[in-house]
Amino acid sequence: MQQAYALVTGASSGIGVEIARNLAARGYPIILVARRKERLEELKAALIAAHKVDVVILDHDLAQPGAAQSLYDKVRAQNLPVAILVNNAGVGMAGKFLEMDMARIEKMFALNMTALTHLTQLFGREMVALGHGYILQVASAAAFLPTPYVSAYAATKSYVLAFSEALRFELLGTGVSVTSLYPGITTTEFNEHAEAKTPGAMALSILSAKQVADIAVRAMFKRKRAIVPGIINKLNAFFSAVLHRGLVIFAAGTMMKKANEP
């Protein structure tokens, strides 16, 4: 019987790269998905050299209309069974919402929400039919409350939280689990592309992409509902839930304003 693959989106950098490395080290064949083919080729060569696993690369822009279905069709055409789906691909935007370009916002919505949702449905159906599988959804610590200066981005991650944790309940007893990852600020290219600056008070919470990936994969295989990497990030999530919502938003907004305005 053919060994099932782990499919990782956003696999050209950051957390996606490290999750792929972690899973390959565990012996899983990998399907790498991202736009930057040259990055995927480099990672493929490294994974094969280090772990002797099969690696398939699919350069694919998941922000395009119909992208999830197109990717699924490519995987099916190659007859690659998928037992692990890691929805890591995502993009952020920082700054004043009214000054943002709407076309970029719509692409962010398509990638962070639409593609994630559709891939979850397509591959989730297959996993349920087989009676086994893992889905890892990469959200963000920003999912826990409205966050000024990343307002639209934070809203997309709040969607991932609500959708994924509700779906987890629907899948109880199927052999398929959904684990949601809520990383804080991580040393990846993400902030650079989002043009976001880190508030000084959050500097101590920063983890490496490898730290986050290792924590996430362990939680996924334990079939945990959710994981917030790092003690400081866990405390932030806790206080976001128990303190007055307006107070937390004011505090977060004040820090973000100071960090992102000249």
- 253 has pLDDT over 70: no
CA dist 196 and 199 (Å) reads 10
pLDDT grade for 242, boundaries at 50, 70 and 90: low
Domains and CATH numbers, the chain: 5-260 (3.40.50.720)
pLDDT at 146: 82
Q: Is residue 230 within 8 Å of residue 208, measured between CB atoms?
A: no
At 194 the pLDDT is 44
Active site residue 153: yes
* 246 vs 101 pLDDT, higher one: 101
Query: How high is the pLDDT of residue 204?
Result: 53
Residue 201's pLDDT is what?
47
User: pTM for the whole thing?
Assistant: 0.87
pLDDT in tens, 126-166: 999 999 999 999 999 999 888 889 999 999 999 999 999 99
Give me the mean pLDDT over the 179-199 stretch: 67
pLDDT of 234 higher than 60: yes
> Which of 140, 99, 100, 138 is CA-nearest to residue 116?
138
Residue 9 confidence (pLDDT)? 98
Residue 202 has pLDDT above 60, yes or no: no
pLDDT at residue 119, as a whole number: 98
Confidence category of residue 16, pLDDT binned at 50, 70, 90: very high
Which of 28, 72, 134, 153 does the annotation list as catalytic? 153
Evaluate if residue 47 carries a pLDDT over 50.
yes
Predicted pLDDT of residue 147: 86
Those residues with Cβ within 8 angstroms of residue 136's Cβ, 6 or more apart along the chain or in another chain: 19, 84, 85, 86, 87, 88, 179, 181, 216, 217, 220
Handedness of CA 47, 110, 85, 231 (dihedral sign): positive
Mean pLDDT of 26-31: 98
What is the mean predicted confidence (pLDDT) over 110-118?
98
**Can you give the pLDDT at residue 6?**
98
Identify residue 136 by its one-letter amino acid code. Answer: L
pLDDT at 254: 65
pLDDT score of 196: 52
Rounded to 10 degrees, the C-alpha dihedral 81/6/83/28 comes to 90
Q: Which pLDDT band holds residue 2 (cuts at 50, 70, 90)? A: confident
